[in-house]
Amino acid sequence: MKLKLGVIDVPEPEGGTSYTVGKELEENYQLFSKFAEYDMNNIVKMLSESAAGALETMQMTGQLPTDPFAAAGEEITDSFKKFIQNETLATMGVPGVPTKAALEGRTLRTKGGKTVSRVKKGQQFKEIVGARRPSFIYSGVLQSSLKVWVD
């Protein structure tokens, strides 16, 4: 049994795919490894509860669910997304986090249907302005394509 942390491979807006972005973030910041390290106790608890639920279902129905760890995979995926959104990696002392792009507020996310390429407010700028964003949410594609499962 192996717990897999990955992404559904989908195209990124500026080229490449969510897989290539995820691979780069793991190489440069250990994003996936640090999440597993940080949340290991919770991950074990979720997997245990999912296995217990599968056994309970088997006792009641006589059949083991096709994916006894599906519920845990969804919960761990949600936890991983919150890990990124809450910028937990920045509190772990990983060099380069928060990222320069996050500090500058660079993003491809849209506001009011318009793509915003720079959202840091500054008095001397006449660009589209806004607030600093969390690291690793440049386009939002990686975060929305995260997936955790058991092989």
Residue 142 to residue 21: CA distance in whole angstroms: 7
Total residues found in the chain within this entry: 151
Write the burial class of residue 124 (CB in 10 Å: 0-12 exposed, 13-18 middle, 19+ buried): exposed
Distance CA 75, CA 79 (A): 6
pLDDT tens, the chain, 151 aa long: 899 999 999 998 878 999 999 999 999 999 999 999 999 999 999 999 999 999 999 999 999 899 999 999 999 999 999 999 999 999 998 999 998 888 877 777 655 544 444 444 444 333 334 467 889 988 889 999 999 999 9
CA atoms of 81 and 11, how far apart (whole Å): 19
| pLDDT given for residue 102 in this prediction | 85
> Which two three-digit tokens encode residue 18?
């969510």
